[in-house]
Structure 1
């Protein structure tokens, strides 16, 4: 197999920021983990909306100690779910951070009790391995999917739901909160909202602020969904109605390319797609265009368009209850390991450097370790193992 074909094969499993259950070929000893279901009633969102029932899926590894203080919370990225480690079926793919979570690995499940949960408004609502409450869920008061009647939720809402889950499991204190991308936002929000409950924080490929520039990008991600006639202002769940898959696929194309770097795209070169002649016919495609079309189209069938919009808004509402990032983090935990990607186009490395500066000004202990490689934003998911030594040092007793 040529180098180019190997690259294409490897990246075909990663059609956007990363898929839930994406991973390397798993060794025979990789554990099968159970997906569990947590629910509670009568939740009031930070924006004042009421949810009669909340359900999220989660998985665990390791054992909680008697003091309830050896727990680690792993928070997921925009397109992910709580399948962060292990495999869900004997021949299934590994979780997206399996390379660093498990017995003897940097986040050692012989030492820590590790919990990874699905978020509210999870993009993967149609997937059988994802449990979430969001716009695609049935509103108990009407018997129909919520659609846009579902209240807006924020990253802080994700944190508050996770806190209830952890308390139900007997967790009193977190030795670590860690996650990539939107998971980094959750980790930072945890540190701001519940600093007494968190000992250490690892935000990977993230930021300490979603500023106007990033808000604008999130709006662009969402635009194709809103322009799809099948979206119907969010009311597409009824019998006989088609989901806005075309608009969703175009949104996923934007996210897919945005989350990668030029080094990844070099494998396609300027080649036309097979059998195409773009120099002669404007409707013909280049190889990179065809790959994006194919990957995003496949991904759209596993995703929910309204949930995409709600996730984008949750990201825009990151730390929105504080006057500034500095105010949010003034009382945050003391110990931080920040892992930006050198070639990140979603959260460029200056975002992490600004977070580092804010933390240092607040008197925190911070190490910043850049991730390198050609995958751009995805270095913090697919190649997180390159930070193994830094994570081991950070978690050393």
Structure 2
């Protein structure tokens, strides 16, 4: 779980003789660990800065993460996780990471970068089922590359840890009463994983619990303008 990660991190920090952290920060899953640090060990965290993340996984995120896992689970080489010393579920893992890459980017990025261009100039996608668009080919290559340095079971356990996440191990509402550090929430309003409404709910819940929350919206590469919007 995310709590397990943070427990190990705390043990490492304490082994180095550190008793107080001036700032805990991290993006994406690192933001979940930031929330966990602030809720589980409030006496150690002076300030918290979760970047593009929420204080707990909602139903929509849980379901999307299930979609991420699905290609591995239907790959016969996964063998219910018992594939070590055998052929690993490389195809399923590659396709899973293709899905992650797509959802981690916005439609504006996809349209601006690839449009409707074919993968090969002489292979019109309208002429044969096997002729592909450029975005399909590029995403598959990205998934293949990442799969070569990843492990399917490791990825599935990360997915489960994210699905189970609620700051402090119970609920964000409960965590909000434990967090003492001021929180600087940095978000991208059009993120497709940690959506704007999910992050807004996190900010509102923290504020209701008495947490000092600042909320900054940042722009992505495909967004018009580049000035953060402060709340």
What is the TM-score of this pair, normalised by structure 2?
0.92
Structure ranking higher on relative contact order (CA contacts 8 Å, 6+ apart): 2
Deviation at 1:386, TM superposition (A): 7.4
Q: Which residue of 2 aligns with 1:195?
A: 42
Give the alignment of 1:1-397 within 5 angstroms.
Answer: 154-238=1-85, 241-266=86-111, 267-274=113-120, 275-319=122-166, 322-374=169-221
Q: Which has the higher helix share?
A: 2
Tell me whether 316-325 or 352-361 shows the greater mean CA deviation: 316-325
2:48 match: secondary structure: strand
> Does the residue aligned with 2:32 lie in a helix, a strand or coil?
helix
Inter-CA distance 233–307: structure 2 relative to 1 (3 Å threshold): same
Moved beyond 6 Å, runs of 4+: none
Distance 2:17 2:8 in 1: 15
CA 1:331/1:179 → structure 2, altered by over 3 Å: closer, same or farther? same
Q: Deviations over 1:158-217 (max 9, x none)?
A: 000000000111110111110001000000011111111111000111001201111111
1:321 Cα deviation from its structure 2 partner: 6.1
| Unmatched runs of 5 consecutive residues or more in structure 1 | 1-153, 377-384, 391-397
Aligned positions, number: 225
Distance 1:330 1:386 in 2: 32
Q: CA RMSD in A?
A: 1.8
CA offset at residue 237 of structure 1? 1.4
| Structure 1 CA distance for aligned equivalents of residues 153 and 77 of structure 2 | 12
Q: Which of the two has greater strand per residue?
A: 1
Give SS of 1:326's match.
helix
State the distance in 2 between where 1:313 and 1:370 align. Answer: 28
